[in-house]
Amino acid sequence: MTNILVRVAEITEETAEIRTLRLVRDDGEPLGPYEAGAHIDVTGPTGLVRQYSLCGPPSEVSSLLIAVKREPESRGGSEALHTLSPGDHLKIGEPRNLLTVAGDADRHVLVAGGIGITPLLSMAYELAGRSADFELHYFVRSPGEAAFVDLLENRVELRDRVRLHFGAPRAEHPALLAAVVPGLTPASHVYTCGPQGFMDQVTAIFAPAIGENNVHVEHFTANEIDTSGDLPFTVELDTGEVFGIPAGKSILSVLTENGIDVAKSCEEGICGSCVSGILEGAPDHRDQCLSASDKAAGTEIALCVSRALSDKLVIELY
């Protein structure tokens, strides 16, 4: 992870639990532009590294904007960022993408649940700048818990594309979203971010109409993985080095223990830092960062959680 020293230039309290941090470089050098949907690693005051989506206009070069929700069960990451003041410094990584705007789509539908608005907001800016056909649906329990409402309701290029759904119970979401389906074609794309159950609903509504590969999901939390049936296997690097991966350890941990320099961050299969190429063998995908089409291709693997269906994998580290 590249460490870039940045300063907190501005803090906005969006809600009682969500604040935005505008980050700049002391030397005035640009931090953007970046690709819509990108996120960055942020090393907080406690030394913990967490991933945050960039939620400003991607074309803005002078600063980066992130939104941080204080989580009640935080291990110190979000809570620490809520203690920061303007002028404090952080270290961040280069922007990288797991969620990107499809260039060949005839229509785009963005569906956010709660703090999941963050990556989709940057995508809305991008699509508006392209004069693309899109709409943004934002589901949140109440106006008091919704970030960026004033911006979404009043920013000229966004306000006519936004549908705010305040207080709609989860059971009502399918009917609200089903009303969007008739306007879509197999060339349309849907992007969603929010709680897992929420995203599962979004996928279930839209995938039958536009195809699973055209529904793009951004995860914030890792799923539980059943490791009870794990078996050992062998990993060979493209350099010729060979390592045994026992049932109780990940590929990433074994490589790291043996002095192999591997990019890593969340180590939960979410951020995509450790994704590497597969030259030979069949992966057992357990991550939430590769798309369905990426997994079907079988040419990449997230080293922190995924394993092998074959006795051996030959891997190219990125």
Q: How far is CA 221 from CA 1, 150, 155, 279, in A?
A: 20, 28, 30, 29
102-122: average pLDDT? 96
46-72: average pLDDT? 91
Do domains 108-218 and 233-316 share one topology? The answer is no
**DSSP element (H, E) containing 23:** strand 18-24
> For a pLDDT cut of 70, what percent of the chain falls above it?
97
> Within 10 A of 268 (CB to CB), how many other CB atoms are there?
18
Report strand pairing: 134-140 vs 108-113.
parallel
Checking if the pLDDT of 85 tops 90, the result is yes
pTM: 0.81
Query: Cα–Cα distance between 184 and 171 in angstroms, integer?
Result: 23
Q: What is the pLDDT of residue 1?
A: 54
Q: What angle do CA 279, 282, 284 make, to 5 degrees?
A: 125
Return the bridge partners of 246, or none: none
Task: Please give, one letter per residue, the 3-state secondary structure of 163-178.
Answer: EEEECCCHHHHHHHHH
Query: Cα–Cα distance between 221 and 194 in angstroms, integer?
Result: 10
Q: What is the pLDDT of residue 205?
A: 97
**DSSP element (H, E) containing 162:** strand 162-166
Nearest in space to 202 (alpha carbons), one of 162, 172, 173: 173
Checking if the pLDDT of 74 tops 60, the result is no
Residue 19: partners with Cβ closer than 8 Å, 6 or more residues away: 11, 12, 13, 67, 68, 81, 82
pLDDT for 259-270, tens place per residue?
Answer: 999 888 788 888
Query: Cα–Cα distance between 125 and 129 in angstroms, integer?
Result: 6
102-110: average pLDDT? 96
Fold of 4-97: Elongation Factor Tu (Ef-tu); domain 3 (2.40.30)
Contact 7, 25 (CB under 8 A): yes
Extents of the domains making up the chain: 4-97, 108-218, 233-316
pLDDT for 210-262, tens place per residue?
Answer: 999 999 998 766 677 888 889 999 999 999 999 999 999 999 999 999 999 98
Give the right CATH number for 108-218 from 3.40.50.80, 1.10.357.10, 3.40.50.2300, 3.60.40.10. 3.40.50.80
| Domain 233-316 part of CATH 3.40.50.40 | no
54-75: average pLDDT? 88
Structure tokens at 85: 């003041």
User: Does 270 or 117 have the greater pLDDT score?
Assistant: 117
Q: What is the pLDDT of residue 270?
A: 81
Checking if the pLDDT of 77 tops 80, the result is no
If you average pLDDT over every residue of the chain, what do you get?
Answer: 92
3-state class of 58 per DSSP? Answer: coil
Checking if the pLDDT of 73 tops 80, the result is no
- Which residue matches tokens 């030959």? 314
